[in-house]
Every structure is written in C-alpha cells, then in structure tokens.
Amino acid sequence: MSTQRPGEDSLIARFFAPLAAEGGLGLKDDAACLSPTPGHDLVLTTDALVETVHFLPGDPAGTIARKALGVNVSDLAAKGADPKGFLLSLALPEDWTVGWLEAFATGLGEAARDFSCPLLGGDTVKARGALTLSVTAIGEVPAGRMVRRTTARPGDLICVTGTIGDAALGLRLRSSPFWATALSPAERDFLADRYLNPRPRHRLAHAIRDNAHAAMDVSDGLAGDLAKMLRVSGVSGIVETGDVPLSGAARKAVDADPDLLDRVMTGGDDYEILCTVPERNLDRLRKEADTVGIGLSVIGRVVPGSDPPVFRTGGIERRYDVGSFSHF
Amino acid sequence: MSTQRPGEDSLIARFFAPLAAEGGLGLKDDAACLSPTPGHDLVLTTDALVETVHFLPGDPAGTIARKALGVNVSDLAAKGADPKGFLLSLALPEDWTVGWLEAFATGLGEAARDFSCPLLGGDTVKARGALTLSVTAIGEVPAGRMVRRTTARPGDLICVTGTIGDAALGLRLRSSPFWATALSPAERDFLADRYLNPRPRHRLAHAIRDNAHAAMDVSDGLAGDLAKMLRVSGVSGIVETGDVPLSGAARKAVDADPDLLDRVMTGGDDYEILCTVPERNLDRLRKEADTVGIGLSVIGRVVPGSDPPVFRTGGIERRYDVGSFSHF
C-alpha cells in the first residue's frame, strides 16, 4: 500500500536509489565508490540544515531538499570546483509521511540534475526533535587550483555575484508578513523565494578559479563573511554600500526604510559568491559572468591592515560587529 | 573566560582546528582539499547518530565522538579501504556547555588518531531537539578494489570478526540493570562498554580486500545484515549458530537465558566485519587476522538460492524476519 510507511531498506530502494549516480552503486552497498579524475584534487564540504533554524516548518519538502543540496553546491562553486556528487544524512521526525518523503526525493533529484551533483549515498535515521539534514558534497579541481579564502591581496577588487539581502528580507517577510507595505505581492514573492531557493553559482566556478585570488560563498551575511575572508587573509578592505547590488524589491524596501540596509549587509542566506579579483582579471571575469547570465558587481577594494572592513555610505563609515553574525 | 560559550568561529578555532589534517586547511576555509593517491578510488560513507536512538543521554561526550567516527571507520574497513579523513556535522542542543564540547573534541581527536582518520572539515549548528551528529568518512582503495556487498558467491565461507551480540546485551543491561544476575560486575561492564565503544576493524582492511569476495560491517544485527548481503548478491546461506563467536560474558548470559540468542543474532551495534571468503583464501585471512590480533570465525556457508539465510541450532532451523531489524 503506497501510503504505508516503508522500512529503511525499501525507503531507500523506492525513493533514493533512482537518484543514485554510478558511484552510488544503486545504494545497495554500505559505501559509495568514486574514481577521481587523474591530476585533480577533491574539494569536500558539509552543511547541516535544521528546521526552524535554516528553514521553516511547513516549507515544501522539495524546497528543503533543494536548499540542503544548494548551499553545499554553493560552497563548491566558490572554491572553483566542479560537483562530483553528494551524500545525504537525513534525520526524520516521528510524523514523517510517505507523501512528504516522495516530494523530498523528487525535489532532491531535480536539484541534483540542475546542479550536476548526483546522489552517492546516505543514511536515514529517526530524529529526536525537528527534521535535521546534513549534506556532504564532493567536488573536483585541477590539482592545486582550489580557490582559498585565505589568499586575498591588497589592491584586489572585492566582487560579489547576483544580489545581496533578498533572502534576509524574504525571511523577515515570512515572520512578519505585514511589514514593508511598499512592496507588491510579486516583490514579496520574489524575496520569499530567494530565502527558500538559493541559486548556487556553480556555472561560474571555472571563471572564479581562473580569475579570483580568494573566494567564499555568502551564507552568514556579506559583512561578516567578508570580514572573515579578509581576516584569515591578513588584510582589510573598504566597501561602498551604494555599490552592493540590490534587487528591485530589496531596493524598494530599503528606500522605504533605510534601517533595513544593515539587515541586507548582515542578514545572510545569500549564497552568492564573494571574491577578490586582481584588476587585470576583472574584464575577463565580467565577460564570463555575462556568458552564463550571472550578475557581477565590484563593491570595494582590499587594503593592507588588520581591522574589519569599512562600509562607506555617503560620508559615513562603519565597521560591523562581526561576532554578532555567529549562529551561537 | 573559559566557561563562556564561544561563537561558532572561536569554537572551531579552539576545539576543532587543533584536530584538523593538512587537507582541512586549519578549518579556515569553507571546504577541505584532498589529493587522492594516483591509481586509487575513493570510498565514501556517512552515518548519523541521534541521542536516545544511537547513544543514551548522559553517555560521556568523548565516547559519543568516538562512536560517531568509529561506526564510519567500520564501514570503510569492511570495504577494504584505508581511512583518509572525515567531515563532522554537529547539531548541538540548547544546553551545550564548554566542558562538554571540550570532552567531545578530546575524544574525537583520540579516535581520529587511533583510527588514522583525521578531521577534514565540518559544520556546527543549533539542534532543535536532541544532540545529532553526522560523520562522512573518506577512504581509499587501489582502483577497482573496493570490496562490495553484492558479490558473495555460492560455496564461499561466511566469516565474522570478533564476537557478536555484546553490544546488544550491553544496551539491554543499561535499560534494565537488574537483568542477567548471573553476570559479574566485570562482565556487565564489558558488555556495556561494547555498546559504547565500537572497535572498528580497520587493521583488517587490507586482508579483507585481498581475501574476501564480499563484505559489510554488522551494524543492524548479524541476521539482518547477512540476509541483506546475500539478497543483493542473489544467493542464500546456512549459518550454524553454535559457530557464531560469543564473548565469555555473552555466553554466560545466553546459557542462563537461551532466549537471548535471538537478541545476540539480531541486536546490532556489533561493528564487526561480516564477509564471505572462498575456501582457498581462509588460511591466509586467518593468519592476517591473527597478526593484527582480531578474532575470525567461520559461521556458515553461502549456498545458491534466494531465501533468507537459515540459522541452525542443533536440529532446529529458522529464518529471521529481516524486515523487523529496520530502524523505521
């Protein structure tokens, strides 16, 4: 009977085996087997998602699956890596249903195809509490070519893809839907979707690898993540907040309430690529970004020093308190 | 102040960065970088642990860490793989303390050294509910040499390492401590420890690779796991329960209460290696097991057929209901 909850083995066979890559061995083994491309390094990243912390109760199952994979593929993209596959660890709450899992697996399969990052293996257990997922994604770069976070250099241009702040505003819209009355329904939907559906910039991975000195993805907020990258690189930076790319909806919200600019800069969940680029490479990077249809903006410059980066708005300068962006 | 709870970044720097392998880049990047040995395949496995499901509230933090890594290294060992490293995803409950995390990191570091499986990266998030961990372990085998679960052949001997059932009896002792009055305190401690401290058989990985046709580790119970391995191999098997290796403590418990034999056969958490071996390789495998001080027992034989394996005790034959060993 299709609505009866199956055991773990039949659950894997029914929902996850159809998504498995060749290296996943049809999920019939305890482990996956991957043959690395000769002359390449592996890039490995893991990110966990917890209900109410990283997504909201009632979010569509397929969207949760896509986000869990997307935030990991975003990490690979920022490192200049091509996705090879992923493993999923899924802790299901007591009340899971066959319908929910079916939608989850469908969303996961679509995301795996969209991001060219197939399922290799996983583990499914009972949660004690809310739905909790952990994805480990594996990517590949030519040997020695992983783009580091620690290698920004003075004089580099600070660049960011896409637009910043949409997801943070989208999350706020979901918790207080009567906020930002200036926005149209379509603009609200756009922002909400940006929180739910990160768009990893994997199509820009090669261009980042070829042109950036340092890169990371923006997950904990532009200000905090930039401060982190510059600190581990032993440098500082200056950002013009007016150059930080905003979507039409975010621009409208900030114009109506300028205090929202802080939320845009620090809110997180952007999953854009933040990178530092030597000036001589900018045109080439821009051109490659254009080719794959991803926006690229120069928002500032790396400078010598050890202070957190300065954010300039008109004549006003501020440094954000980086510690406040931590999850703990 | 050492008892104040640090933010995520300082938590990583303080507790986890000291454990990081070279490929972990001091945990200062978003991703780990691993250079595979030329001519080798990667073996990847992930296992999640949830409080009350896979360990008990109040279990020592260092022991939980060791178990989380150990069960994954056990998977690698059964595949014939040498550990290369692991990623940890840690969802911490609201009430975590610095002392707990310190003990956790210490135990993790010791286990990583004991198993030659260093930390490569991870993610730390807030749990919504109980402590939940997921480890992804990465191992290596010469290309094409991963030992599969799907390749048992009729005529193979069914072998198992160490002893079976200790962990299941140990878990039962913890939930009903007045059970099994026949056991001495030392015997009770031994069984309880076998639940808490799996001993992955990684030192036998090469011998498994060189001598076994098929292998997996015993995590969900000998009967269920053997049925699984034989089913995906398209074969059946006969096991003599009298040949299944029991520790002195388990033997004493079963002698006092013969009904416990079912629990021994189906209980799980053994983390021994179950493998099928062509008769001509048995002596060599035995010798190599002796060399590394790991017991090896022949418990039965693979036969043609598609039924679940038969377990013979004296004149009585039975087939266990495999579905009942699932976690769902």
A41 near A145, Cβ under 8 Å?
A: yes
Closest by Cα among A298, A244, A325 to A254: A244
The pLDDT > 90 percentage for chain A reads: 77
CB contact under 8 A, B128 and A130: yes
* pLDDT reading at A153 higher than 60: yes
Check pLDDT > 90 for residue A161: yes
Among the ranges given (A4-18, A54-68, A156-170, B82-96), the one the predictor scored with the smallest mean pLDDT: A4-18
What gap in Å lies between CA A225 and CA A144, rounded to an integer?
Answer: 24
Q: Where in chain B is CATH 3.90.650.10? A: 157-314
Domain with CATH 3.30.1330.10 in chain B: 8-142
* Number of helices (H), then strands (E), in chain A: 10, 12
Asked if residue B269 has pLDDT above 70, the reply is yes
Q: Is B166 on the interface with A (CB under 8 A)?
A: no
Q: What is the mean pLDDT of residues A76-105?
A: 95
Q: Is B213 on the interface with A (CB under 8 A)?
A: no
- Report the complex ipTM: 0.91
Residue-wise pLDDT tens digits, A111-131: 999 999 999 999 999 999 999
State the span(s) of chain A assigned CATH 3.30.1330.10: 12-142
Mean pLDDT of chain B: 91
Rg (CA), chain B: 20
Q: Is B91's Cβ below 8 Å from some Cβ in A?
A: yes
Confidence check: pLDDT of A52 > 80: yes
Quick one: pLDDT at residue B282?
98
Contact yes or no for B28 and A54 at CB 8 A: no
Q: How far apart are CA A43 and CA B32, in angstroms?
A: 6
Confidence class for position A306, pLDDT limits 50, 70, 90: very high
Q: Which two tokens stand for residue A295?
A: 């926006």
Average pLDDT, chain A: 91
H or E element: which one contains B220?
none
Report residue B320's pLDDT band, with 50, 70 and 90 as the boundaries. confident
**What is the reported pLDDT for A53?**
86
Instruction: Using CA coordinates, name the residue in chain B closest to A52.
Output: B128
Task: Please check whether residue A120 is in contact with residue A85, taking contact to mean a CB–CB distance below 8 angstroms.
Answer: yes
Instruction: Report the CATH number of the B8-142 domain.
Output: 3.30.1330.10
Q: CA A104, CA A61: separation in Å to the nearest integer?
A: 5
Report, at the CATH architecture level, how domain A12-142 is classified: 2-Layer Sandwich (3.30)
B183-211 pLDDT, tens digit per residue, is: 999 999 999 999 999 999 999 999 999 99
| A239-271 residue pLDDT tens | 999 999 999 999 999 999 888 999 999 999 999
Q: Where are the alpha helices (DSSP H) in chain A?
A: 8-11, 61-78, 98-114, 166-175, 185-196, 205-211, 222-233, 248-256, 260-266, 282-291
Q: What are the tens digits of pLDDT across the range A185-207?
A: 999 999 999 999 999 999 999 99
The answer, for B202 touching chain A at a CB cutoff of 8 Å, is: no
The per-residue pLDDT for B327 is 47
Between A175-184, B94-103, B277-286, the lowest mean confidence (pLDDT) is in A175-184
Mean pLDDT value of segment A145-165: 97
Which CATH superfamily groups domain B157-314? PurM-like C-terminal domain (3.90.650.10)
Q: Which fold has domain A157-320?
A: Phosphoribosyl-aminoimidazole Synthetase; Chain A, domain 2 (3.90.650)
Count of helix runs (H) and strand runs (E) in chain B: 10, 12
**Rounded to a whole number, what is the distance in Å from the CA of B28 to chain A's nearest CA?**
7
